[in-house]
Structure 1
Amino acid sequence: MRSLRRCRAVIFDLDDTLVPTSKIDRAAILHAAALASGDELPAVVAARFSELLKAEPFPPEPSGLDVPAWRTGLWERALSGSSSDGRAGASPAARQAYEAWSSERLSSFRFADDVDAMVRRLQSAGYKTGVLTNGHADVQRAKTAACGAGSLFGEERVIIAGAGDASTATVARARPLMGGCGPLGEHAEQKPHASIFRVASATLMVGDSYAADVAGGINASLLATVWVRPPLEPPETGAQGSLMHGHLSAVPAGQPSPTFTVESVLEVEACLEKIG
């Protein structure tokens, strides 16, 4: 029966699909703000940092700063209310906040037991599985290490898109994603770029981003797409959708619909049953 399956492989997005990244980050940001905010309300500082992180997550090319230094500068701006770009150094409080946030978010960045079990069931049933995540290599590699993605999926099937140089991109284009993507598991272009979806057509793409995961999978002519679209939180919680790229409550006007829309990645098995 396996040879008759239409779907042979499942590719998962990482952030807010396999792991509730935004929920983890919001809690870690508030924890760090409480430690470093002094007389100001931690929630106010946390909100400032969240907005800065969403707007300016990475250093601009001419800055000469690495990601930790840049994000420490974001904490300096959040704590002081300054508009400085973070290049002039940071206070001890900002350094404390960055270290507390980084440590807390990574310590909580884990696959839930039911998610781990689901992936293992798919693998036992004969499906190839992989992870395809956008982002800065240093940031995403720390997260994939924290959750043990390499152990669960195989290091060669955990791909960081948007990392590496031209030579890495050349290697990536020459190999199908499910069979590996270069020595570091990195690809110079991000979803939804067509080159990142060089996979067999009998593949299911699962992710929370309509633009990157759903539209990317559709445009690459994958077999099917699953949009993991969690329900909106009440506005007063301040926790709606993704911390980094917002939340779509509906397919954009005039754009194609995903094959399936679900509220949890745990519904993927039911989608596979429908595909056959």
Structure 2
Amino acid sequence: MGSEVLKAILFDLDNTLIDTAGAGKIAIETVKDFMKGKLDDDTHIDEICERFQCKLLHEASSPGGTPIDDVRTRHWAQAIQEVGSTCPSGLAAKCYRLWKSTRLRQLRIPPACRQLLRELRRSYKLLLLTNGEAQTQREKVAAARCRALFDAVVLCGEHGEEKPAASVFLHSCGLLGVRPSECVMVGDSLDTDIQGGVNAGLRATVWISAADCPPSGCPVQPHHTIPSVLQLPAVLDRMQ
């Protein structure tokens, strides 16, 4: 993988260091319980929540100047209306606030992972590189209380491009004062984290996945695959 000394590690946030997917499931179940008895037909609650999650998935990273809280409140209102239910005044806003606060409360870096980051920082420069709407990602970083674990944080929502664009990886390397060949990317997404690391010419990419390898025919091939970020030290030892 090259003869240069490894100096820096870029980490993804969602579903790499924090269990965003798990937190989202808990938040949705909490909203489902809250909505019972508040609609003219409770049989639509599951579909409403599915529609909200679909809108969230296809949401633009930069919602055109509209505050993200307003955008997501509207997602709830539209989801309720689309199934033919009457949306009582204020219900969409209450659903959003409950979903958001519940999800944020769940976003914690596990103690073992937190300790690992502290240990890695003794030998490497660390940077958090995350896609997504800027306010949302700032709130996640604050909820996870992880800013002090990194030398720098790059929120792609504040830039013109997101992962897998090479520009955000090169910008990250510049902030740390390292060359791409001295840097590793660690993340759970083949399409953004791994492909972006390849696009930027990083020393190596590490895919966090329970799968042994990418799906057959997948054009994106990580240099290393591990089931948990806790296995990262063994990979780094092999690279040195």
In which range does the TM-score fall when normalised by the shorter chain? 0.7 to 0.9
Find the aligned partners of 1:82 and 1:59 in 2 and give their Cα distance: 27
Give me the identity figure in percent: 35
Q: Does 1:29 align with 2:32?
A: no
CA contact (8 A) 2:62 2:133 kept: no
CA contact (8 A) 1:191 1:216 kept: yes
Matched with 1:139 is 136
Deviation at 1:252, TM superposition (A): 6.8
Q: Does 1:55 align with 2:58?
A: yes
Find the aligned partners of 1:256 and 1:93 in 2 and give their Cα distance: 43
- Classify 1:48/1:274 alpha carbon distance in 2 versus 1 (closer, same or farther; 3 Å): same
CA contact (8 A) 1:72 1:90 kept: no
Matched with 2:237 is 273
Task: Give the one of 200, 203, 221 matched to 1:223.
Answer: 203
| Unpaired runs of at least 5, structure 1 | 84-88, 164-186, 232-248
CA contact (8 A) 1:17 1:228 kept: yes
Q: Does 1:255 align with 2:219?
A: yes
- Classify 1:43/1:161 alpha carbon distance in 2 versus 1 (closer, same or farther; 3 Å): same
- Classify 1:254/1:230 alpha carbon distance in 2 versus 1 (closer, same or farther; 3 Å): closer
Matched with 1:162 is 157
Q: TM-score, normalised by structure 2?
A: 0.84
| Unpaired runs of at least 5, structure 2 | 174-178
- Classify 1:203/1:90 alpha carbon distance in 2 versus 1 (closer, same or farther; 3 Å): farther
Q: How many residues align?
A: 223
* Paired amino acid for 1:97: C
Q: TM-score, normalised by structure 1?
A: 0.73
Deviation at 1:73, TM superposition (A): 1.2
* Paired amino acid for 1:67: I
CA contact (8 A) 2:164 2:192 kept: yes
| Correspondences of 1:1-276 after superposition (within 5 Å) | 6-38=5-37, 39-41=41-43, 42-56=45-59, 61=64, 65-82=66-83, 91-124=89-122, 126-154=123-151, 157-163=152-158, 187-198=159-170, 199=173, 200=179, 201-230=181-210, 250-251=214-215, 253=217, 255-276=219-240
- Classify 1:220/1:5 alpha carbon distance in 2 versus 1 (closer, same or farther; 3 Å): closer
CA contact (8 A) 1:37 1:79 kept: no
Deviation at 1:149, TM superposition (A): 2.2
Deviation at 1:77, TM superposition (A): 2.4
* Paired amino acid for 1:79: I
Deviation string, structure 1 residues 174-206 (Cα, Å, up to 9, x no partner): xxxxxxxxxxxxx33211111111122211100
Find the aligned partners of 1:11 and 1:132 in 2 and give their Cα distance: 6
CA contact (8 A) 1:251 1:257 kept: no
Deviation at 1:127, TM superposition (A): 1.0
CA contact (8 A) 2:128 2:154 kept: yes
Question: Counterpart of 1:11 in 2: which secondary structure?
Answer: strand
Q: What RMSD in Å do the two structures reach over aligned CA positions? A: 2.4
Find the aligned partners of 1:213 and 1:59 in 2 and give their Cα distance: 19
Deviation string, structure 1 residues 10-63 (Cα, Å, up to 9, x no partner): 1100011111111111211221222124352544432222122112356753xx
- Classify 1:101/1:65 alpha carbon distance in 2 versus 1 (closer, same or farther; 3 Å): same
Any runs of at least 4 consecutive aligned residues in structure 1 with deviations exceeding 6 A, and if so which? Answer: none
Deviation at 1:133, TM superposition (A): 0.3
Find the aligned partners of 1:117 and 1:7 in 2 and give their Cα distance: 20
Find the aligned partners of 1:50 and 1:252 in 2 and give their Cα distance: 28
Stretch of structure 1 that moved more, 45-54 or 100-109:
45-54
Structure with the bigger RCO (C-alpha within 8 Å, sep 6+) is 2
Find the aligned partners of 1:28 and 1:119 in 2 and give their Cα distance: 27
- Classify 1:51/1:74 alpha carbon distance in 2 versus 1 (closer, same or farther; 3 Å): same
Question: Counterpart of 1:162 in 2: which secondary structure?
Answer: helix
